[in-house]
Chain A
Amino acid sequence: MKFKRQLFGFMDMLRFKKMVPTRRKMLAEGPNTPLPQEYRTNVLAKKLHPGYMQVELTAARFVTNTMRELTFKRVDTEEFPFFRAGQYVSIQMKIGDSVVSRPYSIVSTPRQALENKLVLAVENAGFVSGYLNEKAKIGDRFVMTEPSGEFHYETLRDNHHIVCIAGGSGITPFMSMAGSLADGDEPYSMTLFYGARTAAQLAYKAELDALTARCKDLKVVYVLSDEEQAGCEKGFISAELMKKYTDLTDATFFLCGPQAMYDFVDKELAPLNLPKKAMRRDATCCGDLPMEHPGAFKLTVHMRDEVYVLPAKENETLLTSMERAGLNAPNKCRAGGCGFCHSKWLSGSYRVADGRDGRREADRKFGFIHPCVTYPLQDMEIDVPVAY
Chain B
Amino acid sequence: MATKAKKAYDVVVIGAGNGGLVAAIRILQAGYSCLLLEKHNLPGGFATSFKRGRFEFEASLHELNDFGSPEEPGDVRKLFRELGVEDKIDWVRIPEAYHLITTDKKYDCVMPFGQQAFIEKMVEYCPESRKSITEFFELCNEVRDAQTYSNSVNGNTDSAYMKKTFPNFVKAGSYSVNEVLDSLKMPQKAKDILNAYWCYLGVDCDRMSFLHYGSMVIRYITRDAWMPKMRSHEISLALDTRIRELGGDIWYQSEAEKILADDNGKIRGVQLTDGKVIETCHIIANCSPHLVFGKMLEKKAVTEQMVRATNSRKFAGRGFSLFLGLNRSAEELGITSHNYFIYDTADTVKQYDLMKKVSTNHVQATVCLNNAYPECSPKGTCMMYFTTMFMSDDWGNVSEEDYFKMKDRVAEDMIRVFERETGCKIRDAIEEICVASPTTYARYCGHPEGVIYGYETAEWDSLMPRMMMMKEDALMNPGLRFAGGYAMRSSGYSSAYISGDLSGRQTVGDLKKEAQGV
Contacts and interface: CB of A to CB of B under 8 A. Distances in A.
Nearest to B304: A32
Nearest to A110: B401
Interface stretch (B103-111, B338-346, B464-472, B507-515): B464-472
Interface size class of A (residues with CB under 8 A): 35 or more
Interface stretch (B197-205, B360-368, B433-441, B491-499): B433-441
A36 B313 CA distance: 13
A2 B168 contact: yes
A32 B464 contact: no
Contact of A305 (B3, B310, B433): B3
B134 to A, nearest CB: 9
Interface stretch (A13-21, A132-140, A224-232, A241-249): A13-21
Contact of A28 (B49, B179, B305, B464): B305
Interface in B150-195: 163, 167-168, 170-175, 179-180, 183-184
A49 B450 CA distance: 14
Contact of A23 (B53, B179, B460): B460
B52 to A, nearest CB: 7
B168 A385 contact: no
Interface stretch (A68-76, A290-298, A356-364): A356-364
A8 B381 CA distance: 59
B347 interface: no
A34 B234 contact: no
A214 interface: no
Interface of A: 1-5, 9, 12-13, 15-16, 18-20, 22-24, 26-37, 39-42, 44-49, 81-82, 84, 114, 150, 154-157, 275-277, 304-309, 330, 337, 339-340, 342, 344, 358, 360-363, 365-366, 368, 385-388
Interface stretch (B71-79, B279-287, B424-432): B424-432
A276 B327 contact: yes
B448 A42 contact: yes
A39 B442 contact: yes
Contact of B469 (A24, A45, A157, A277): A24
B505 interface: no
Contact of B468 (A19, A309, A363): A19
Contact of B438 (A41, A81, A307): A41
B359 interface: no
Given A309-B2, A385-B251, A363 B237 contact: yes
Contact of A39 (B3, B236, B254, B449): B449
18 contacts: A3-B167, A5-B171, A16-B170, A19-B468, A23-B466, A26-B312, A28-B308, A35-B311, A39-B442, A41-B395, A42-B446, A44-B398, A276-B53, A276-B431, A342-B41, A344-B244, A360-B51, A386-B253
Given A3-B172, A366-B237, A35 B310 contact: yes
Contacts of A330: 41, 253
Contacts of A5: 171-172, 175, 179-180, 183
B465 A23 contact: yes
B408 interface: yes
Contact of B312 (A1, A2, A29, A37): A29
Contacts of A20: 465, 468-469
Contact of B432 (A24, A157, A307): A157
B233 interface: yes
B230 interface: yes
Contact of A22 (B3, B184, B307, B460): B460
Which of A1, A20, A339, A388 has most B Cβ within 10 Å? Answer: A1
Given A275-B431, A366-B240, A23 B469 contact: yes
A306 B1 contact: yes
Interface string B470-490: 001000000000000000000
A1 B253 contact: no
Q: Which of the listed residues A18, A154, A339 has the most CB atoms from chain B within 10 Å of its own CB?
A: A154
B1 A307 contact: yes
Residue in A3, A363, A368 with the greatest tally of chain B CB atoms within 10 Å:
A3
B290 interface: yes
B87 interface: no
B430 A277 contact: yes
Interface of B is mostly: helix
Interface in B104-141: 135, 138-139
Given A32-B304, A44-B403, A307-B4, 8 more contacts: A1-B168, A2-B167, A42-B448, A45-B442, A82-B404, A156-B430, A157-B433, A305-B249
Contacts of A360: 49-51, 56, 230-231, 233
Interface residues of B, number: 100
Interface in B270-294: 274, 276, 290, 293-294
A117 B466 CA distance: 51
Contacts of A386: 251, 253-254, 274
Given A1-B168, A13-B170, A48 B1 contact: no
B443 A49 contact: yes
A330 B253 CA distance: 9
B439 A44 contact: yes
A156 B312 contact: no
A91 to B, nearest CB: 19
Contacts of B395: 41
A386 B149 CA distance: 45
B217 to A, nearest CB: 16
Contacts of A366: 88, 237-238, 240-241
A48 B444 CA distance: 12
Contacts of B472: 24
Given A5-B175, A305-B6, A44 B400 contact: yes
B350 interface: no
Most central of B1, B171, B415, B446 by chain A CB within 10 Å? B171
Contacts of B440: 45
B253 A385 contact: yes
B80 interface: no
B230 A12 contact: no
B431 A277 contact: yes
Given A39-B449, A42-B449, A387 B309 contact: no
Given A20-B469, A330-B41, A15 B174 contact: yes
B164 to A, nearest CB: 12
A342 B49 CA distance: 13
A34 B159 CA distance: 38
B396 interface: yes
B411 interface: yes
- Among B6, B234, B472, chain A packs the most CB atoms within 10 A around the CB of B234
Contacts of B309: 27-28, 30
A30 B230 contact: no
Interface in B385-400: 393, 395-398, 400
B465 A22 contact: yes
A216 B426 CA distance: 32
A22 B174 CA distance: 11
Contacts of B7: 305
B446 A27 contact: no
Contacts of A114: 400-401
A57 to B, nearest CB: 25
